[in-house]
Amino acid sequence: MKLPENTLLEIKSLNLCLPDTKTKQKKVILKNINLNLTKGKSHALVGESGSGKSMICNTILGLEPSNAETEGSILFDNYNLLKKPYPDTVRGRKIAYIPQNPITSLNPVKNVKDHIFETLEIHEPQLNLSERLNYARELLLSLQLQNWEKVLNSYAFELSGGMCQRIMIALALCGKPELLLADEPTTALDVMVQAEIAYLLLEIIKKKNLTLLLISHDLALVAQMAEYIWVLKDGEIQEAGRLKEVFANPESQYTQTLIKALT
């Protein structure tokens, strides 16, 4: 069960089946997925809508539908994350999740301070109120939210999409994660803000030596951000490798088409 030294997470021969929502017939959603994440590197999972990107992400988090049948393994930190019960030190702690739509992910009746303090209550219960405030200030400043005091007292509807996504990243970082899973983290944002958030995420993972799995259908974004790439189609990996090599020499017809569409 031990992982190689530089490997943080390894998905081996993962198959996932679900009853089709209409016909109720068993349907293969993920087929023989092999994917390994190297410590401290950024990785991307790309593919068209419905190809199974979010299903892989949710399965890593133990949040696949309860009627899913799975085979294979997802090794992380001496656990096989496919085995139930899901270990409680992993989700939201060692593995953090950054959602697609930051505005609706924040509770509308709580301000940013409530969100951060409640998250710190879980992860850093030893901190007193003034230490929490210091922690929140440092965190918000590190996410380039210079007017941190105003932000702390704001509600989601008072913040821009980009600011909300910075808050979601802040909340993810409170658990001192080793792995960040970001499922379309910039899709809901406008183009300029997308680039800012992408740059910020890259800076954070470098500074904190975190590992990133970015899920996206945006190949241009992925090209800026990832070192390794997996291309998914209809629940199967079409191509995998170092991004530069895959882009320079795509083997599958599908990847060639994706890259052609980009240029």
Residues making contact with ligand ATP (CB under 6 A): 18, 21, 29, 47, 49-55, 65, 217
Instruction: Select the binding partner of residue 47 from ligand ATP, Mg ion, none (C-beta < 5 to 8 A, by kind).
Output: ligand ATP
Amino acid identity at 36 = N
**Options 47-55, 61-69, 104-112, 131-139: segment touching Mg ion (CB under 5 A):** 47-55
In the complex, minimum distance from the CB of residue 155 to ligand ATP, in angstroms, rounded to a whole number: 28
Instruction: Select the binding partner of residue 55 from Mg ion, ligand ATP, none (C-beta < 5 to 8 A, by kind).
Output: ligand ATP
Kindly tell me which of 52 and 162 has the beta carbon lying closer to ligand ATP: 52
In the complex, minimum distance from the CB of residue 257 to ligand ATP, in angstroms, rounded to a whole number: 17
Kindly tell me which of 15 and 54 has the beta carbon lying closer to Mg ion: 54
Residue 32 is a binding residue for Mg ion (CB under 5 A): no
Kindly tell me which of 21 and 128 has the beta carbon lying closer to ligand ATP: 21
Q: How many whole angstroms separate alpha carbon 162 and alpha carbon 47? A: 24
